Amino acid sequence: MKLRDPSHDIIIFERNAPGVTFGWGVVFSDQTVENLQANDPKSAKVIADEFAHWDDIDVHFGGECITSSGHGFIGIGRKRLLEILTDRARDLGVQLQFEAECDPADPKWRDYDLVIASDGINSRFRDAYPDAFGVDVDVRANKFVWLGTSKVFDAFNFAFEKTEHGWIWAHAYRFAPDCSTFIVECSEDTWRNFGFDRMDQAEAIAACEKLFAKYLDGHSLQSNAAHLVGSAAWLNFRRIKCERWSTGNVILLGDAAHTAHFSVGSGTKLALEDAIKLADVLNRPGLSLEAAMDEYVAERNLEVLKLQNSARNSTEWFETLERYTHFEPLQFAYSLLTRSQRISHENLRLRDREWLEGVERWFWKRATDGRSNKTAPPMFAPFRLREMQVENRVTVSPMAMYSAVDGTPNDFHFVHYGERAMGGAGLVFTEMTCVSPEGRISPGCTGMWNDDHIAAWKRIVDFVHANSKAKICLQLGHSGAKGSTRVGWEEDNAPLPDGNWAVMAASDVAWSPVNQVPTPMTRADMDAVRDQFVAAVRMGLECGFDMIELHAAHGYLLSGFLTPLQNRRTDEYGGSLENRLRYPLEVFAAMRAAWPSDRPMSVRISATDWAGEQGVTPDEAVEIAEAFAREGADLIDVSAGQTWTGSQPVYGRMFQTPFSDKLRNEARLATMAVGNIYEPDHANSILAAGRADLVALARPHLIDPFWTLRAAAQLDYRDVHVPPQYLNGMSQLARNLKRETEAAAALRV
Ligand X SMILES: Cc1cc2nc3c(=O)[nH]c(=O)nc-3n(C[C@H](O)[C@H](O)[C@H](O)COP(=O)(O)O)c2cc1C
Interface positions, 582-641, toward ligand X (CB under 6 A)? 604, 639
Q: Does 279 bind ligand X (CB under 6 A)?
A: no
Distance CA 391, CA 382 (A): 5
Q: What angle, 0 to 180 degrees and rounded to 10, lies between the N-to-C axes of helices 618-630 and 657-667?
A: 50
Q: Does 269 bind ligand FAD (CB under 6 A)?
A: yes
Q: Does 119 bind ligand FAD (CB under 6 A)?
A: yes
Distance CA 201, CA 219 (A): 17
What one-character-per-residue DSSP string does 162-214 give? EETTEEEEEEEEEEETTEEEEEEEE-HHHHHHHTGGG--HHHHHHHHHHHTHH
Q: Does 159 bind ligand X (CB under 6 A)?
A: no
Q: Which is nearer to ligand FAD, 16 or 95 (CB)?
A: 16
Q: Does 658 bind ligand X (CB under 6 A)?
A: no
Distance CA 281, CA 271 (A): 16
Q: Which is nearer to ligand X, 196 or 429 (CB)?
A: 429
Which partner, ligand X, ligand FAD, none, binds residue 400 by CB below 5 to 8 Å per kind?
Answer: ligand X
Distance CA 439, CA 304 (A): 47
Q: Does 101 bind ligand FAD (CB under 6 A)?
A: yes
Q: Does 102 bind ligand FAD (CB under 6 A)?
A: yes
Q: Which is nearer to ligand FAD, 96 or 535 (CB)?
A: 96
Q: In 654-721, where do the E strands start and end?
A: 671-674, 694-697
Q: Does 551 bind ligand X (CB under 6 A)?
A: yes
Q: Does 240 bind ligand FAD (CB under 6 A)?
A: no
Catalytic residue among 556, 573, 583, 717: 556
Q: Does 16 bind ligand FAD (CB under 6 A)?
A: yes
Distance CA 172, CA 271 (A): 22
Q: What angle, 0 to 180 degrees and rounded to 10, lies between the N-to-C axes of helices 78-91 and 41-50?
A: 150
What one-character-per-residue DSSP string does 452-493 give? HHHHHHHHHHHHHHHH-S-EEEEEEE--GGG-SB--TTT-TT
Cβ–Cβ < 8 Å for 125, 147: no
Task: Provide, rounded to whole angstroms, the least separation between the CB of residue 665 and ligand X.
Answer: 21
Task: Provide, rounded to whole angstroms, the least separation between the CB of residue 30 and ligand FAD.
Answer: 14
Q: Does 676 bind ligand X (CB under 6 A)?
A: yes
Which partner, ligand FAD, ligand X, none, binds residue 529 by CB below 5 to 8 Å per kind?
Answer: none
Q: Which is nearer to ligand FAD, 120 or 437 (CB)?
A: 120
What one-character-per-residue DSSP string does 418-457 give? HHHHHTT-SEEEPP-EESSGGG-SSTT--B-SSHHHHHHH
Phi, psi torsion values for 391, nearest 5 degrees: -65, -35
Q: Which is nearer to ligand FAD, 101 or 387 (CB)?
A: 101
Task: Provide, rounded to whole angstroms, the least separation between the CB of residue 56 and ligand FAD.
Answer: 17
Q: Which is nearer to ligand X, 480 or 675 (CB)?
A: 675
Q: Which is nearer to ligand X, 252 or 697 (CB)?
A: 697
Which partner, ligand X, ligand FAD, none, binds residue 566 by CB below 5 to 8 Å per kind?
Answer: none
Q: Does 650 bind ligand X (CB under 6 A)?
A: no
Q: Does 255 bind ligand FAD (CB under 6 A)?
A: yes
Phi, psi torsion values for 736, nearest 5 degrees: -65, -40
DSSP 705: T
Which partner, ligand X, ligand FAD, none, binds residue 488 by CB below 5 to 8 Å per kind?
Answer: ligand X
What is the total count of residues that contact ligand X (CB under 6 A)?
Answer: 20
**Residue 505 parent element (H or E):** strand 504-505
Name the 3-class secondary structure at 284. coil
Task: Provide, rounded to whole angstroms, the least separation between the CB of residue 684 and ligand X.
Answer: 16
Q: Does 140 bind ligand FAD (CB under 6 A)?
A: no
DSSP 517: P
Query: Of the candidates 432, 448, 635, 686, which one interacts with ligand X according to CB under 6 A?
Result: 432
Task: Provide, rounded to whole angstroms, the least separation between the CB of residue 193 and ligand FAD.
Answer: 22
Cβ–Cβ < 8 Å for 550, 588: yes
Q: What angle, 0 to 180 degrees and rounded to 10, lies between the N-to-C axes of helices 707-714 and 680-688?
A: 80
Which partner, ligand FAD, ligand X, none, binds residue 311 by CB below 5 to 8 Å per kind?
Answer: none
Does 556 qualify as catalytic in the annotation? yes
Contact pattern from residue 532 through residue 571 relative to ligand FAD, giving x for each residue in contact according to CB under 6 A and a dash for the rest: ----------------------------------------
Q: Which is nearer to ligand X, 300 or 551 (CB)?
A: 551
Query: Of the candidates 400, 481, 526, 712, which one interacts with ligand X according to CB under 6 A?
Result: 400
Task: List Cβ neighbours of 745 (8 Å cut-off, separation of 6 or more).
Answer: none
What residues are paired with 427 via a beta bridge? 395, 471
Q: Which one, of 349, 261, 279, lies nearest residue 68 by Cα?
A: 349
Which partner, ligand X, ligand FAD, none, binds residue 269 by CB below 5 to 8 Å per kind?
Answer: ligand FAD
Distance CA 430, CA 445 (A): 11
Distance CA 692, CA 663 (A): 9
Q: Which is nearer to ligand FAD, 23 or 560 (CB)?
A: 23
Cβ–Cβ < 8 Å for 432, 551: yes
Query: Of the candidates 54, 146, 245, 628, which one interacts with ligand FAD according to CB under 6 A?
Result: 146
Cβ–Cβ < 8 Å for 322, 676: no
Query: Of the candidates 77, 166, 265, 641, which one interacts with ligand FAD according to CB under 6 A?
Result: 265
Phi-psi category of residue 675: left, alpha or beta, with phi > 0 → left and psi -120 to 50 → alpha: left
Which partner, ligand FAD, ligand X, none, binds residue 124 by CB below 5 to 8 Å per kind?
Answer: ligand FAD
Q: Does 397 bind ligand X (CB under 6 A)?
A: yes
What is the rounded (10 degree) CA torsion for 185, 187, 189, 190?
-40
Residues that bind ligand FAD (CB under 6 A): 13-16, 23, 26-27, 101-102, 118-121, 124, 146, 183, 254-256, 262, 265-269, 271
Residues that bind ligand X (CB under 6 A): 397-400, 431-432, 475, 488, 551, 553, 604, 639, 674-677, 697-700
Catalytic residues: 556
